[in-house]
Structure 1
Amino acid sequence: MLLTSCGDKVTGEPGTAEPTANSTSSIPGSTSSPVPGGGPVACVDWVRFETPQDEYDNAGVVLIGKSVSRAGETSIYGSKATTHLVEVEQVLKGDPGEGNLRITSMPPTCTVGGTYPDGDPLDTDQRVIIFATKQGGDWFTITPAQGVLPFPEGSELPFH
């Protein structure tokens, strides 16, 4: 579902980082970036789904709900990510368990302008459709750009 490539954490440009003699890669297929603050940097090239049906087909869980609060932070692919407590209105696919669900907004990697340069898609009090996948024991939106769709009352599902 994703590919990794080398990038410079400062500029986010692919291929601008040069590996050093003592750098190591923690993710297969990626190289390290000698940036201040150091450590390997993986720039993830996310799959682009052509339709909401493709998102639905590839998600482990699909639900209608809304974020009720922030529930902490975590790290994935070397990037900081915000976790939200989501009030689940209806589960459309999968089995996330009962009650409210902790879901982390998958962050874009190697970006300029902070963790979510276009805004955290779960940082809304609006009703949304969430496409999620499990990483380790935690739920994450399926991609940074396509894990959340607005879904106002009276809307029709964009998939079947």
Structure 2
Amino acid sequence: MGKLVALALVGLLVSVLGSGCSLVPGPGAAPSGGAATSGGPVPGGGAETCVDWVRFETPQDQYDKAGVVLIGKSVSRTGETSIYGYKATTHLVEVEQVLKGDPGDGNLRISSMPPTCTGGETYPDGDPLDPNQRVIIFATRQGGDWFTMTPAQGVLPFPQGTKLPFH
């Protein structure tokens, strides 16, 4: 029952692509409770796990759903991890200020959630944590690791002097 409530709360839409598809483990495994997955056909055979990401209407919505929200910047890449069978780049993030949650003290390792069903390219629009710039990061913990909430809405540029887009 708890899983059904969690799915309803974040308004997930699961679309099944093709036949013989199966749902990958739900909210406990899905980033921020903000994604559902389905397997679908891949050109050339086989199945690929595709994620239907929730779209947040406002940064306030992102803030409300995130496990951790912080201001910081990536200072280096520290390796890779895997989620849903896709590679995710892990960054060492210099934490300037924690706005929500308790990620612990000091710098933090956060992986950029990769988009899925991209034909093999990990970050077709670039890794949002790559630039050495000040950003707001919306993250969730998955299996002991921190990930940005979604590929497209896990990081917001936040130059000095900018007002927070949520409260």
Report the secondary structure of 1:30's partner residue. strand
RMSD between aligned residues? 2.2
Distance 1:137 1:4 in 2: 25
Distance 2:65 2:139 in 1: 9
Cα gap change, 1:35 to 1:154, in 2 (>3 Å) = same
Computing the radius of gyration from Cα coordinates, the structure with the larger value is: 1
Structure 1 residues 8-87: aligned runs within 5 Å: 15=17, 19=20, 25=22, 27=24, 30-31=38-39, 33=41, 38=46, 40-87=47-94
Distance 2:88 2:14 in 1: 18
Report the secondary structure of 1:121's partner residue. coil
Q: CA deviation at 1:32?
A: 5.5
Quote the residue 1:92 is aligned against: 99
Quote the residue 1:128 is aligned against: 135
**Which stretches in structure 1 are left out of the alignment for 5+ residues?**
7-14
**Which stretches in structure 2 are left out of the alignment for 5+ residues?**
1-9, 26-36
Higher mean displacement: 28-37 or 60-69:
28-37
Task: Return the structure number with greater helix share.
Answer: 2
Task: Work out whether residues 31 and 41 of structure 1, in 8 Å CA contact, stay in contact via their aligned partners in 2.
Answer: yes
Report the secondary structure of 1:42's partner residue. strand
Q: CA deviation at 1:31?
A: 3.7
Q: CA deviation at 1:37?
A: 8.6
- State the 4+ residue runs in structure 1 displaced beyond 6 angstroms: none
Quote the residue 2:160 is aligned against: 153
Cα gap change, 1:155 to 1:119, in 2 (>3 Å) = same
TM-score by length of 1: 0.81
Distance 2:100 2:45 in 1: 41
Q: CA deviation at 1:72?
A: 0.6
Q: CA deviation at 1:80?
A: 1.0
TM-score by length of 2: 0.78
Cα gap change, 1:93 to 1:122, in 2 (>3 Å) = same
1:81-123 CA-partner distances (Å, limit 9, x unpaired): 1010000000000000011000000011101461111110000
Question: Quick one: percent identity of the two aligned structures?
Answer: 76
Task: Work out whether residues 72 and 135 of structure 2, in 8 Å CA contact, stay in contact via their aligned partners in 1.
Answer: yes
Q: CA deviation at 1:4?
A: 4.9
Aligned length: 146
Task: Work out whether residues 108 and 115 of structure 1, in 8 Å CA contact, stay in contact via their aligned partners in 2.
Answer: yes
